[in-house]
Chain A
Amino acid sequence: MIVDGADSRPEEIPVFLDAAGESLFGIVTIPAPRRSDALSIVLPAGATVSIDRNRVGVRLCRRLADLGVPSIRFDYHGVGESDGDAQRFRLDEPFDADLLGVVAWARSEGIERFVLIGSCFGARTAMASADRISGIEAIVLLAAPVRDYEMGDRVATSLAAGSDLSLHAHRALGRGAGVLRDPVKRRVYARYVRTALLGLTRRAAHPDRRRHPDVSPHFLASLAELGRRSIPTLFVYGTEDALWHEFLDARSGPLASTLADAPSIEIATLEGSVHGFKTIGIQDAAIDLIADWLGRIPTDVTPSFG
């Protein structure tokens, strides 16, 4: 059973927990005193340990503890201290089994209410799993990609999705034989070509959708589910994030009706790039924003917050 920390410094307790047969590693941060019964689950951005850049993961959990909110940060299977092997991180294949394993472990500790906080791949994993988790009080989604791609292929598929035929031909001819010799570059370029061809076909069939990115059907379905359940949801992007501009395009297209019907979903932006947390300023701003927003969740939803 998780109990309150004994002194003013938040207590941190490492745990091993089972998720789909793999042992995952996590650290629970226990505030003293505790003001919330909901456990915040922090999902990493992808193939990086839960500590994250400049200890963003650690600092976020300790900041939440200052507000009296307990949390857990964990490493996905195949990453950090966890078991297993993770060959790839595709947004249409999120690690929902890992998150569901964390939730099951928390329930075995007597916890029934959750806040999900995920960045990039972690945001998409949180969205994809939410329909199988009861007791979600709120979700924070940082730099959530609206398209599906494999981590590392975002730029290639983004370029391909937005270009015309002559540009693709120029790019193809300009690549040279080096691309074909390198298996990694060959795979990335093949994805670029596939996305480009798919985009050209779709744009020819639907000229009105020319401006809108290929929004993931998984993203759309998850968003609709969050809205239907009226789960307080905060999307956070940086104004310099390419992901934000893709979200903006999608908001005026495929996401428009879903967002219009979901007053529980809020969107916030921060100056700079949230994706990857590549400045200390944006890290601090994101942590402040999350802490502030969670503190403002209506009291009839989370009576113990704030």
Chain B
Amino acid sequence: MLTDGFVERAHRVMSEGTATLRVDVGHLGAGAPMFVALYTPAAAPIAGMVICPPLQSEFLVNYRREVLLARMLAARGFAVARFHYRGTGHSYGEDRDVTFGSMRRDAMEVASWLRVHRGVDVVAMLGTRLSALTAAAVASDRAEPIVVWEPIVEGDEYFREVFRFARMSDLARGADRAPIDEVNVAGSTDVVGFRIDRALVDSFRGRHLAALLGDGSPPVLLVQMDLTQRLRQEFAAFVDVQTRRGSEVDVLSVKGKEAWWFPGTQSRGSAQARNRVTVEATCDWLFRHVPAEAPR
């Protein structure tokens, strides 16, 4: 059925705890449509949330946690949209076309659609890793709550880290490449089987989480996953900037390090424990930050 730009292809009603919710999956938008999964509560939603997935390996690692969060939030009254950026996941489009700009446009399109067609005034954003930057760019427009899981606070540093990792992986298997040179000369490189394009790298140059949130920035929940409870240096610096701006920043430290570039290698038990803590705390925080005038 074609309604409001969303072509719903399958749906189901499911239970989450004592609540009932509906899941619709389909495609949204023109051109190369995006894969979207929409989770709605049985009653009118109290608010909306858009979940922006990370990219590459991190997309696979974070996938289940995003599904579990969407289900739990819908059970607690939120209308939640999960989506895959154009050129990623189940969406149509080409991976070489993915940039900060295209990601922001896709996230904004989903947020606008949720607001207009699902009747929610407040649409919170969630972004993990690189998607924290795109989620921030969207959330700052209306100063609505934003959750960032293990965010990248600086685009340049992220790709430096990725290329360092690629170099180490190459050395481990006896290969000798310079991924950054490949990106600059050939336009793309291979990082343990994931394609990284120059357009993507260039588009994140100079992007900073704090700058994208801007002045008058929204309340933020930052989730760190690490072996230590101590806040990492880059997160501490981000919190400091936001606090000086008068923005509310809450921090949740989840014990356990995520192997972001090694999908499927961690024990199911530890991943599930980390998922549970992260999802429950995120739900609680969001519920507290939905404006009081929202119907409950």
Chain A residues within 8 Å of B, Cβ to Cβ = 9, 12-16, 23, 25, 27, 45-49, 51-55, 58, 79-81, 83, 86-88, 151-152, 184, 276-283
Contact flag A151-B37 (CB < 8 Å), given A54-B195, A280-B190, A283-B193: no
Question: What's the least CB distance linking B165 to chain A, in Å?
Answer: 13
Please report the C-alpha to C-alpha distance between residue A79 and residue B67 in the assembled complex, in whole angstroms.
Answer: 9
The answer on a CB contact under 8 Å between A83 and B14 is: yes
* B90: A residues at CB distance < 8 A: 12, 14, 27, 51, 58
The answer on a CB contact under 8 Å between A278 and B10 is: no
Please report the C-alpha to C-alpha distance between residue A46 and residue B266 in the assembled complex, in whole angstroms.
Answer: 12
The answer on a CB contact under 8 Å between B67 and A81 is: yes
Within 8 A of A (CB), among B57-115: 57, 59-60, 63-64, 67, 88-90, 92, 95
Please report the C-alpha to C-alpha distance between residue A279 and residue B155 in the assembled complex, in whole angstroms.
Answer: 24
Please report the C-alpha to C-alpha distance between residue A88 and residue B269 in the assembled complex, in whole angstroms.
Answer: 9
Chain A, Cβ-Cβ closest to B270: A184
Chain B residues within 8 Å of A, Cβ to Cβ = 9-12, 14, 23, 25-27, 35, 37, 56-57, 59-60, 63-64, 67, 88-90, 92, 95, 190, 192-195, 263-265, 267-270
The answer on a CB contact under 8 Å between A14 and B26 is: yes
The answer on a CB contact under 8 Å between B190 and A184 is: no
Question: What's the least CB distance linking A155 to chain B, in Å?
Answer: 11
The answer on a CB contact under 8 Å between A79 and B193 is: no
The answer on a CB contact under 8 Å between A15 and B10 is: yes
The answer on a CB contact under 8 Å between B268 and A47 is: yes
> Which of B23, B95, B190, B193 has the most chain A CB atoms closer than 10 A to its own CB?
B193
The answer on a CB contact under 8 Å between B264 and A281 is: no
The listed residue (B10, B67, B89) touching A58 by CB distance below 8 A is B89
The listed residue (A27, A81, A88, A281) touching B268 by CB distance below 8 A is A88
* B264: A residues at CB distance < 8 A: 45-48, 151
The answer on a CB contact under 8 Å between A13 and B89 is: no
Contact flag A53-B194 (CB < 8 Å), given A80-B64, A88-B268, A184-B269: yes
The answer on a CB contact under 8 Å between A23 and B12 is: yes
Question: What's the least CB distance linking A13 to chain B, in Å?
Answer: 5
> Which of B11, B26, B67 has the most chain A CB atoms closer than 10 A to its own CB?
B67
Question: What's the least CB distance linking A144 to chain B, in Å?
Answer: 17
* B25: A residues at CB distance < 8 A: 14, 16, 25, 81
Question: What's the least CB distance linking A61 to chain B, in Å?
Answer: 10
Contact flag A49-B268 (CB < 8 Å), given A14-B26, A81-B37: no
The answer on a CB contact under 8 Å between A55 and B89 is: yes
Please report the C-alpha to C-alpha distance between residue A16 and residue B12 in the assembled complex, in whole angstroms.
Answer: 7
The answer on a CB contact under 8 Å between A14 and B9 is: yes
The answer on a CB contact under 8 Å between A152 and B60 is: no
**With contacts A25-B25, A53-B57, A81-B67 known, what are 15 further pairs, Cβ within 8 A?**
A9-B92, A12-B27, A12-B90, A13-B9, A16-B11, A16-B25, A46-B264, A48-B264, A55-B88, A55-B95, A58-B89, A87-B269, A88-B268, A279-B192, A279-B193
* B92: A residues at CB distance < 8 A: 9, 12
* A86: B residues at CB distance < 8 A: 268
Chain B, Cβ-Cβ closest to A45: B264
Chain B, Cβ-Cβ closest to A85: B272
* B63: A residues at CB distance < 8 A: 49, 80
Contact flag A23-B14 (CB < 8 Å), given A87-B268, A279-B190, A280-B190: yes
* A47: B residues at CB distance < 8 A: 264, 268
* B192: A residues at CB distance < 8 A: 278-279
The listed residue (A9, A51, A152) touching B89 by CB distance below 8 A is A51
